[in-house]
Amino acid sequence: MQKLFSAVFVTVTLFGFSTVLSKAEPPYHLTTVSWLISTQNNIDVDDRYVTLVGHVTKQFGSENYWFTDGTGSVRLDSADFELPIGPKVVIGGRIDQAYLGFGHLEVDVRRWYLAKQP
């Protein structure tokens, strides 16, 4: 009976770990808005996860914002979050490219938080 319990425990433990590992977040790359703009229409960077540090400057529509880090401005699509306008924030999101002039280059916000002040 104890062998059966040990086997079940080991199996559950292994499946538990594999489930946790498969739900790991994708890697986020710290970058700038100017780099995002330079990659416009580049299919190789579409859907890449990035981290930006800067300020949300304006909201337009119910879920769209303008963001700047001092190197340029980019649109944010934040369907799940209401972002603060003004304070320094860290944005984690996925690049959404505009192809052949259709749509807009934007970052789909997946997470955000206020930047710590030095």
Asked if residue 109 lies in contact with residue 56, where contact means CB atoms within 8 angstroms, the answer is no
Query: Is there a contact between 76 and 89 (Cβ–Cβ < 8 Å)?
Result: no
CA distance 78 to 63: 5
pLDDT confidence tier of residue 18, bands split at 50, 70 and 90: very low
- Asked whether residue 2 carries a pLDDT value surpassing 70, the answer given is no
Give the chain's mean pLDDT.
80
State the CATH architecture for 27-114.
Beta Barrel (2.40)
Cα of 77 vs its chain's centroid, Å: 11
Q: Which residue has the tokens 């930006």?
A: 52
Q: Could you tell me the residue ranges of all domains in the chain? A: 27-114
Which tokens in the block code for residue 21? 């590992």
Inform me whether the pLDDT recorded for 21 exceeds 70.
Answer: no
Reported as a single tens digit per residue, the pLDDT across 61-78 is 989 999 999 999 999 999
The one-letter code for the residue type at 21 is L
